[in-house]
Structures are given as structure tokens and as C-alpha cells.
Chains A and B, each alone.
Chain A
């Protein structure tokens, strides 16, 4: 074990500021990923004749999107000014890019979800016309949502990494894969819960694949970033990520074993969803912890300076 390096600070105070985001943002990381994963599954189900899976995916996507909107607006310092996000489209700001991704996804997913109500509408008159147009509109909306879903799932990783928060920034090559895997696992989990076993096959595949990607990428974050991996293993973040690992692994196993049982599949889905929530909250807390201790800012920068002077 290398002994902890000496470093100096100003009365032990942190150098960079801790993010002021509250738990709403950690919750949004989850609901955004769930919306994205569900939309992908809904579109695939639509194209392969799996109506129950399609409905599950579309309704989950819209519900998760609504929750996402609530969390994002609620976290603002001035919620009434949320529309100011739409003043600019700025590629250097992942939050600006994400605002537009979310808007496009939201409109499309909304149309797709509303289309699920078509069978219950009357067939006569103007409403009848709309009722007959809805399935087509729903397919277009669903495919559009699926096209934007991968961007929705991964831009949040760029958002966290594009800061001076030491552990988030250092994780930038791996975090998009953590979030992509988590989104796939969440979407697959929703399918396992909401659709009968006969139609849930692809959701099962995506749930297991997503879980594998999430576990692999998270392991890299927890162990391959030197000192900056430490906040992911210690304290509140460490507890959350260990719980996430357990839940995600159990969920994946249950998904594989429950291919014939709706109950086992649903339990596996619940475990995967809980694991995804824990992963997002764990990553969130680890970043905050890395900002709060000056050593995570000073030591890597000193090492970088020393390396430059040697070369």
C-alpha cells in the first residue's frame, strides 16, 4: 500500500465548490435513463408485433419523462425561470444540449404514449379521424423517441464529467457506459414487470446486457482511476454502489432464470430498477465527496505538474 501523500491546503478547506444540486438531480439521472431505455424497448416491440411490451414501454417512457421534468424544474434556484433553458442552444454546455434532447424526446414520447389510447376512442366524427391517425402518429413518435433515447441516456454522463469535480471529471471515459448500461437495464426491467413472459423476451435480453455493461463500467470507475476512485468506494457513495452491485447482479440472474415465470421476472425487474437508482445516487454522492476534500483536487494536480517538469 502506498502511504497517503502529503499535501498542503488552506486550513483543510476545499478548493473547488461542491455541486449545489439536490437529490432531485440524482433522481433525474435515473428517470431519464428509464425513459430512454423504455422508449427503445417500446419501439422494438412496435416493429416486432409485441403490443403489451410496446404499451409498457411507451407508458413507462412518458411517466418517467414527466417525473424527469418535475425533478429538473424543482431543483432550479429559480424554478419559474425554467424556460430560460430554451434561450440558447450551446454545444459547450451539456445541460443546454440535454435540454433540447429532452424536449425532442418528450414531444415524441408523448405522441407515442397518447397513441396507446386509440382503441378506446370513438370511431366517428373528428375524434374518430384522430383515433385512426393515432397508431401511425404513435409509430412515428415512438421511433423518433427511440432515435433520441441513446443521446438522452448518455448526455447526463457528459454533464457530470464536464465539471471540475475531480471524480466525475476523471470518470469521463467510463461514465457514459455506466449510464448507458443502467438505462438499458432499467428499460428492460420495466418490460419484465409490465409485459407477459411471452412478449418480454427482448426486454429480458436488454436487461441482462444492460446490467452487464453497468457492472463492468462501474467496476472500472471504482478501481481504475487511482486516488480518484476512492470516493466511489468509501462513505455513503461506497455503500450505495455496493448495494447497486448486489441488486443489479441479483436482478440479472433473476431475469435469466425467470424466463418462464412472470413473478420471478417481475421481481428481477424490481431489483434491476432499485440497482439502477442506487448506481445513480452512488455516482452522485461520490462526486460531491471528491469536491469536499481538497486532497482530490490538489494531489492529482501536483502529480500532473511533477510529471510535466520531469518530461
Chain B
């Protein structure tokens, strides 16, 4: 059950949480190199889970009118328009286009549509479907004072909405800024990795809906192997900027249950470059607090010592 790596370092989270004979750990691999920004994942998630709307805004952030993950957005598609770093990365986009049978009207460019050949495109468009990472070491779970947040047998992290009393502690604890409090409701909400679907052997709604298999669901070990191979293929094709994010069990959160293949630095997508679970430092924090507490007690004793009025 509880072991030396229970707060930090590589572990298998379900057995560490006390499950006996847990099923294999399940998760997501989101390959952003084939994402076409269709937002089917956002819609499917909302439909299946009955998630309320998040405001019907026009944010002026390319095609992103959702903004970010929140209590009412459990899958969020990010759009970033940039100068293209390599021709091979454009090939990757063309491959993605080829998997969809509709006609592609062209990437944003600096010339009139159709007046220049595709070779002249000087922009690339990064698209990425963000989600709760279901961290191996989940800070939200560690700090929850009611036990509402718990680890499932699949290694995922879920909030029980009938127990959450809206204390709000999980919200600043998450190093990725995922979980949030729902206004008008008061409780904290986030992606459940479709616990109700995977418990029946089904695929989560977002993965089911994704038309390019950018979102892949399966056993985490197998997904990690697949992702490593995919990065190798991309590097061979001349896309050196392709990198995995959240795949490494030795990282600051023990690796993510939902990890990504990115085509730029994490902060470009709104992700932290080096997330660390806050619980790593908790033993040290209690020690400092202990010394401060002893200081208080000692001061009180000294102040009253041998001083009769």
C-alpha cells in the first residue's frame, strides 16, 4: 500500500492506493500532430457527461472560444498559429488532412487564397486537445479534505459530486490548472476519464468521437510504447520538434495517465514546462511548521517564566 514513492517518484497508482488485483492502468495518448481541431472531443464529452455551457464567448484566440480547461470544459482544444519551422511538419498536417474526406480550404497564409501554391505557406497551425492528466501523483487528490477525490482501480482520478463540499483546495493545488469550481453549483468538477464508460469496457466519449485517432485510449504501457514509436517516425521524417509530454514516470508528477505528443514547447500550449506535485515538499513543510510551532511555545514559556505580578 503506502510505500517510499507514495508522494513522489515512479509508482503504479492503483495498487499504491490499496487496490488488490487492480486492472491494468488505463489512460489517453493525445497525438497533436494529427489533430484537425474539429472539437468533436469537446462536444462528445459535454454530451455524455451533461456538462453545462461555458459561456458562448468569442475570445479571438484563433478558433479557441473555450479558453481553457474548467469546471465546464473537460476537453479543451487549443489553437496556435505560428511560423512553420519545417517543411516536414507541413507534411504531417497534410497527412492529417488526408484522413478527412472533406475538402481542405488551406491554412492561413499571407497571400490571397489560391494565388500561391501550397509550398508557399509560411504559417503552421498547432491544435491540441487538452484534458485532465490523471497524474500518478495527483495533488488535487492529495489535498482533498473530504475524500471526494479518489483513485479508481484504473489508476484515474475522479471527484464524487455527492461528497464534495466546495472547499476549493484542489483548485490551486493542480499544477496543470485543470480542476475548477462550478459557479452556481459550488462543487469542483473535472474529467472523469469516463469512469462510467470504461467500467463497462467502453471507450471514453472523446476518444470514441475523435475522427483522426488523435485521442487514443488504452492501457498506459501500450500507449507509451506506441507514442515512443510515433515520435521516432516523426523525427525520421524531419520533424525534430516532436516531443512527448507527461510520458515519463520520473517526472515531477510521476508521469501522467493522459500524456501528449507536442510539436512545440509545453508553455506554448498553456502547459507547465516542469510540473511538480506539491506534495513532494509536504514532509519538509510540516517540519518547518513544527519548528515555528515550537518557537511559539518556547516564546510563551519564556514570557511567563518566573514572573509573578
How many A-B contacts are there with CB distance less than 8 Å?
242
A40 touches B272 (CB 8 A): no
The interface residues of chain A lying within 8 Å CB-to-CB of B309 are: 48-50, 198-199, 201
Given the contacts A49-B309, A81-B165, A85-B167, A176 and B175 also touching, CB distance less than 8 Å: no
Given the contacts A77-B165, A155-B289, A210-B299, A17 and B270 also touching, CB distance less than 8 Å: no
A158 touches B286 (CB 8 A): yes
1/0 per residue, CB under 8 A from B, across A263-294: the answer is 00000000000000000000000010001001
- Asked if B295 is an interface residue, CB under 8 A from chain A, the answer is yes
The interface residues of chain A lying within 8 Å CB-to-CB of B167 are: 75-77, 85, 95
**Which residues of B167-201 are within 8 A (CB) of A?**
167-169, 171-181, 185-188
**Which residues of B276-309 are within 8 A (CB) of A?**
278-279, 281-282, 284-286, 288-297, 299-304, 307-309
The interface residues of chain B lying within 8 Å CB-to-CB of A201 are: 307, 309
- Asked if B267 is an interface residue, CB under 8 A from chain A, the answer is yes
Query: Measured between alpha carbons, how far is A176 from B295 in the docked complex, in Å?
Result: 10
- Asked if B145 is an interface residue, CB under 8 A from chain A, the answer is yes
Query: Measured between alpha carbons, how far is A76 from B294 in the docked complex, in Å?
Result: 31
Instruction: Summarize A's interface: helix, strand, loop or mixed.
Output: helix
Interface size counted on chain B using CB atoms at 8 A: 72
The interface residues of chain B lying within 8 Å CB-to-CB of A43 are: 300
B147 touches A165 (CB 8 A): no
Query: Measured between alpha carbons, how far is A294 from B267 in the docked complex, in Å?
Result: 9
Query: Measured between alpha carbons, how far is A20 from B70 in the docked complex, in Å?
Result: 12
Counting chain B CB atoms within 10 Å of each CB, which of A149, A164, A172 scores highest? A164
Name A10's contact: one of B171, B173, B268, B308 (CB within 8 Å): B268
Name B292's contact: one of A7, A165, A180 (CB within 8 Å): A180
The interface residues of chain B lying within 8 Å CB-to-CB of A93 are: 142-145, 169
A150 touches B145 (CB 8 A): no
A305 touches B143 (CB 8 A): no
The interface residues of chain A lying within 8 Å CB-to-CB of B202 are: none
A87 touches B146 (CB 8 A): yes
Query: Measured between alpha carbons, how far is A287 from B172 in the docked complex, in Å?
Result: 10
Using a CB–CB distance below 8 Å, which chain A residues touch chain B?
7-11, 13-21, 36, 40-41, 43-45, 47-50, 75-79, 81-82, 84-85, 87-88, 90, 92-96, 99, 146, 149-151, 153-155, 157-159, 161-165, 168-169, 172-173, 176-177, 179-180, 183-184, 198-199, 201-202, 205-206, 209-210, 213, 287, 291, 294, 297-298, 301-302, 304-305
For the A-B complex with A81-B164, A95-B167, A202-B303 known, give 6 more contacts whose Cβ atoms are closer than 8 Å: A20-B181, A76-B167, A78-B186, A84-B163, A85-B145, A162-B279
Sorted nearest first, the 5 A-B pairs with minimum C-beta distance are: A77-B166, A77-B186, A10-B270, A150-B293, A81-B165
